[in-house]
Amino acid sequence: MDPSDLTHHISRRFNKDIEDLRNAVLTMGGLVESQLSLAIKSIVSGDSELGLKVARDDYKVNELEVNIDEECGRILATRAPAAGDLRLIVAIIKTITDLERIGDEAEKIGFLASKLAAMDRPSDSYRELKTLGQHVAHMVRDAMNAFARLDVEAAWDVVREDEVVDEEYEAIQRQCITFMMEDPRSIKRVMNVTWCARSLERIGDHAKNICEYVIDMVQGRDVRHTHTPDTSDTDA
């Protein structure tokens, strides 16, 4: 065999391995999005069984993380990727960790939803949680789209959006404190609402993290713990 043919074959196989990895991450992202959507629905609808189903199905997310992580290890050991390919592998390892943690938070929300379903429901059917949940779900979807397209500008949009989610979370916290002060009998239920809101806020943080990995992967710069840029900074 001509050495150039062997090199071409190895390169083509490596590119396929990388593409398969990217697709696996997107599959995992899709599963996490579904879990989150069902968890939010279980709160709003008061569906205890749906909440428990979300919690039970978390193992599927965990299995995908393990499989993708093992494949990343194999590629690192056998292909010794460099430069952009290495940044991609590292970004994938970090991304699946955040996706798994989003799955864990959705699991918590599922359990909490089953508890809330057994308690008296407020007249607004947890409107604030629904709003925060939908906002966070959009962030996760946009984060995975940014990952799929390697879209730095879209990634920065999600990073900026996290500040809005933090404000919504703080507003819910203040409201919950007021409710508990006005009616001590509601403390148990309101604490469950607080924990749901906390899980949703943390999901927003994980979506932000994924977008920071995208920026690093494309531009080769670590933007964690830095200021949110002006629009002009995204052109760098």
How buried is residue 174: exposed, middle or buried, by Cβ count under 10 Å (0-12/13-18/19+)?
exposed
% of residues, the chain, pLDDT over 90: 69
- Please answer whether residues 40 and 139 qualify as being in contact, where contact means their C-beta atoms are separated by less than 8 angstroms: no
Q: How far is Cα 220 from Cα 206, in angstroms, rounded to an integer?
A: 20
Alpha helices in the chain (DSSP H): 3-45, 48-56, 58-79, 83-117, 127-149, 152-182, 187-219
Q: What is the pLDDT of residue 129?
A: 93
Distance of alpha carbon 86 from alpha carbon 218, whole angstroms: 12
Q: What's the average model confidence in pLDDT over 189-211?
A: 96
Question: How many distinct structural domains can be found in the chain?
Answer: 1
Q: With a threshold of 0.85, does the pTM exceed it?
A: yes
Q: Which residue has the higher pLDDT, 9 or 40?
A: 40
CA distance 38 to 109: 10
Asked if the model's pLDDT at residue 119 lies above 70, the reply is: yes
Q: Which residue has the tokens 């779900």?
A: 137
Summarize pLDDT for 37-73 with one digit per residue, the tens.
Answer: 999 999 999 999 999 999 999 999 999 999 999 999 9
Q: Using CA atoms in the order 148, 68, 213, 100, what is the torsion angle rounded to 10 degrees?
A: 100
Higher pLDDT, 3 or 35: 35
pLDDT (mean) for 86-97: 94
DSSP state of 46: T
Domain that holds residue 127: 3-235
In this predicted structure, what is the pLDDT of residue 230?
52
pLDDT in tens, 159-174: 999 999 999 999 999 9
With tokens 């404000």, the residue in question is: 167
Q: How many other C-beta atoms can be found within 10 angstroms of the C-beta atom of residue 223?
A: 20
Q: Mean pLDDT throughout 216-228?
A: 76
User: Token digits for 157?
Assistant: 């949009």
pLDDT at 125: 65
> For 103-120, what is the mean pLDDT?
94
For 28, 113, 153, 160, 191, the CA distances from 119, given in Å and listed in that order, are 33, 10, 43, 36, 12
73-87 average pLDDT score: 86
Rounded CA-CA distance 184/145 in Å is 44
122-144 mean pLDDT? 90
State the Cα–Cα distance between residues 214 and 210, nearest whole angstrom: 6
Confidence at 10, pLDDT banded by 50, 70, 90:
low
d(CA 204, CA 220): 23
What average pLDDT does the chain have?
A: 89
The enclosing domain of 175 has a CATH number of 1.20.58.220
The whole-angstrom separation of Cα 234 and Cα 214 is 13
Poorest-pLDDT segment among 22-26, 117-121, 127-131, 187-191: 117-121
